[in-house]
Structure 1
Amino acid sequence: MRRNGRLLLFSIILIIVLFANFYPLPYYVSRPGLAKVLDEFIEVESGYENDGKFMLTTIRIGKANVLTYLITKVNKYYQLEPLTAIRLENETDEEYTVRQLYYMENSQENAIQVAFEKADKEIEVHMNGIYILSVMEDSPADGILQPGDRITAIDGNSFDTAKGFTDYIQSKEAGDKIEVTIHRKEQVLTETITLQLLDEIGKTGIGITLVEDKEIKSDPKVNINTDEIGGPSAGLMFSLEIYNQLVEADISKGYIIAGTGTISPEGKVGPIGGIDQKVVAADKEGAEIFFAPNENGKKGSNYEVAVETAKDIGTDMIIVPVDDFDDAIEFLQSLEEK
């Protein structure tokens, strides 16, 4: 009997553990991720080697289960997020992945552009067309176009901007047909789509969410390998690492420097989500300096949250506010060699 009782107890515990780990809840849980040394991912051909290190920081996001839900109640850096905070309305898994990979690709291109221009190196910027992030259900494009397609021409006309594309579409009438040339993986396809009036925008369209697709050609060439990371938040740190390999002087001056923030082609640094969790991740990896988006000093900025987090976890890491690439460079120039 005792043996049967122990077996029953073990079975009950096993069922509870499996339920806690695998029963999905309608939430996501975000938590501190990793701080990764960027020279392991980025190589400027014939670039300079440096003693210091720049690191990108990440957060981990996964669908909530009972166990991770309970952890959010006792660990402030495990945070419960509603589905709408992570996904766009009606966004599929495929569309979410495409969107995150595009943001990462775009942040890399912007970072290269900023770093080369600041280092007085020449680059070429080529517009490749329009990149599709998502396709509206039951729209004219549904079943014809896919997230990740690149539109290179409409009726044989190419466009340098997303505005040029939308202006051309909206100059036509509902019921008109257009020929769309797309690049899908290794294929070049031409599809015919009938335009219709879209209630969501009150204008003629085909029902896609789009962004501009550009390509940066640089000399020397920059190789970036971040296949497992998505999103735009590493832009600032990408630009600093690329710049450091382009110029002779080591701007890191021997320090371990982490940070976060989007980067625009003009070098402006934008805010990101999960700044507190990224501060925790950077501290665990031994970062000495952390760059945080300042958002022009607004109340509740990424920088303010980062400072509060640093105090809360008792780190000696210096939190530095940045509004643009030049702010980061000016701070680094003020440092003494380690």
Structure 2
Amino acid sequence: MKKNTKLVRAILIGIILAAVLNFIKLPFYITKPGMATELEPIIEVEGGYEEEGSFSLTTVGFGRANIFSYAIASVFPYHEILPLEDVVQEGESDDEYLDRQLHMMESSQESAVALAYEKAGKKVDYLFRGIYVMQVVKDMPSEGKLKNGDRIFEVDGSEFKTAEEFIAYVGKKKKGDTIEITYERNGKKGKTEIVADTFPNDPKKVGIGISLVTDREIETDPDITLDTSNIGGPSAGLMMSLEIYNQLTKEDFTKGHQIAGTGTIDDNGKVGPIGGISQKIVAADKSGADIFLAPNQEGIETSNYREAVKTAKEIGTEMKIVPIDTFDDAIAYLEKLDVK
């Protein structure tokens, strides 16, 4: 009876210890292969055309490390351990980091919608709401005065609608000039004065030390509904633009294929690089994708495409890896694709 009691006690202590260790956060993040998610169920264009195949975004599993996840990542292939400072900005909490990723996703989503509608010859209008602060540069004038997520809507008493307008205005200032910023933080309005300064790595450039993204709402005809609230970061831009364009046009560009991919997209259709390409190749292969569209970065030695090809060979996938520089490149490839 005593032996049983000791055994039960040891098991309980083990369970409690494991639970405690599970909640202890280490100064690292862990990334690993995520999943491929079909976009048609989460993007709906009113009266849009159906497709035989699919376009899918790919994700990377991501989270703060604990003792167990760190140990697993040390052993399993295509798991990566990243120091905290390589992921979050100094003083940024996990929640603030996630909030920044969601803002980046919203910006990428807006670019994908605008590009797809314009390419399809459909109506797009913009409602501008100001500028979001995405990052405050350490040791620059905005440090301690502005925070990630602040929405700037007035500069020196004038309304600014886009990040480009703000950058052009501040770029004309001289070192020592004072700029009055009106912003919104957590639903409350605030004002601050910031003295422009030169950047340490570029003495000819004057600024206040923030990176920005335009806060805008896109109005379209036909209407579009997107359920991307649980997706962070800008890396789904290319695939979202292709899914939206496919629903807007009569021709089915999937040709019955399961097409995965990744890459940022801007309003001009340029595809940009992303992180975790190897992990996304693994995820797409596990999902059964036939084709993977990868950022080519104009063929540079360290491009996402080259890494994707290397990973595809390592895992022995039959999935075709296709280099993409622009939205038009992707459409040109899909137009020539044979029906499955």
Q: Same fold (TM over 0.5)?
A: yes
| Structure 2 match to 1:193 | 192
Cα pair 1:173 1:204 within 8 Å, conserved: yes
In structure 2, the partner of 1:235 is 237
SS of structure 2 residue aligned to 1:7: helix
Question: Could you tell me which residue of structure 2 aligns to residue 314 of structure 1?
Answer: 316
Question: Does 1:296 pair with 2:288?
Answer: no
Structure 1 equivalent of residue 224 of structure 2: 222
Q: Report the Cα distance in structure 1 between the residues aligned to 2:71 and 2:242, rounded to whole angstroms.
A: 39
Bigger drift between 168-177 and 313-322 goes to: 168-177
What is the CA–CA distance in structure 2 between the aligned matches of 1:51 and 1:111, rounded to whole Å? Answer: 22
Cα displacement (A) at 1:6? 1.6
Q: Structure 2: how far apart are the matches of 1:336 and 1:205?
A: 51
The residue aligned with 2:45 is 44
Contact 2:174 2:196 in 1 (8 A): no
1:233-284 superposed Cα distances (whole Å, 9 cap, x missing partner): 0000000000000000111011111110001111111111111111111122
The aligned counterpart of 1:252 is 254
- SS of the aligned residue for 1:24 comes to coil
Shift of 1:304: 1.6
Q: Is the 8 A contact 2:178 2:196 kept in 1?
A: no
The 2-side partners of 1:331 and 1:79 are apart by: 32
Q: Which consecutive residues of structure 2, in runs of 5 or more, have no partner in the other structure?
A: none
- Tell me if the contact between 1:195 and 1:204 (Cα under 8 Å) persists in the aligned partners: no
1:65-111 deviations in Å (ceiling 9; x for gaps) = 11111112221122111112211233233431232111101111111
Paired with 1:176 and 1:254, the residues of 2 have a C-alpha distance of: 58
Over residues 215-249 of structure 1, what are the superposed CA-to-partner deviations in whole Å (9 max), with x where a residue is unaligned? 33221122211111110000000000000000001
Instruction: Please tell me the residue identity of whatever aligns with 1:62.
Output: G
Superposition pairs for residues 1-338 of structure 1, below 5 Å? 1-134=2-135, 146-162=147-163, 164-166=165-167, 168=169, 171=173, 178=180, 180-183=181-184, 189=189, 191-196=190-195, 208-338=210-340
Q: Measure the CA separation in 2 of the matches of 1:49 and 1:150.
A: 38
Q: Which moved more, 1:8-17 or 1:262-271?
A: 8-17
The CA deviation string for residues 50-69 of structure 1, in whole angstroms up to 9 with x for no partner, is 11111111111111111111
Alpha-carbon contact 2:178-2:194 (below 8 Å) kept: yes
Give the C-alpha shift of residue 182 in structure 1.
3.8
User: Is the 2:155–2:179 Cα contact (8 Å) retained in structure 1?
Assistant: no
Counterpart Cα distance in 1 of 2:66 and 2:120: 48
Maintained 8 Å contact 2:104/2:233: yes
Give unmatched runs, 5+ long, in structure 1.
none
Larger deviation, residues 35-44 vs 147-156: 147-156
Q: How much has 1:195 moved relative to structure 2?
A: 3.0
Q: Per-residue CA shift, 1:267-312, capped at 9, x if unaligned?
A: 1111111111111111222211111111111123211221222222
Q: 1:303 to 1:176 in 2, by over 3 A?
A: closer
- TM-score normalised by length of structure 1: 0.87
Identity in percent: 48
The code of the aligned residue for 1:48 comes to Y
Q: How far does residue 172 in structure 1 lie from its aligned partner after superposition? A: 7.6
Count of residues in Structure 1 that have an aligned counterpart in Structure 2: 335
Deviation, 1:177, is 7.2
Cα distance in 2, alignment partners of residues 303 and 177 from structure 1: 43
Alpha-carbon RMSD across the aligned residues, in angstroms, is 2.9
Whole-Å Cα distance in 1 between the matches of residues 308 and 138 of structure 2?
A: 40
Contact 1:19 1:66 in 2 (8 A): no
* TM-score of the aligned structures, taking structure 2 as reference length: 0.86
Cα distance change of structure 1 residues 9 and 258 upon mapping to structure 2, 3 Å threshold: same
Change (3 A) 1:253 1:68: same
CA contact 2:131–2:152 (8 Å) conserved in 1? yes
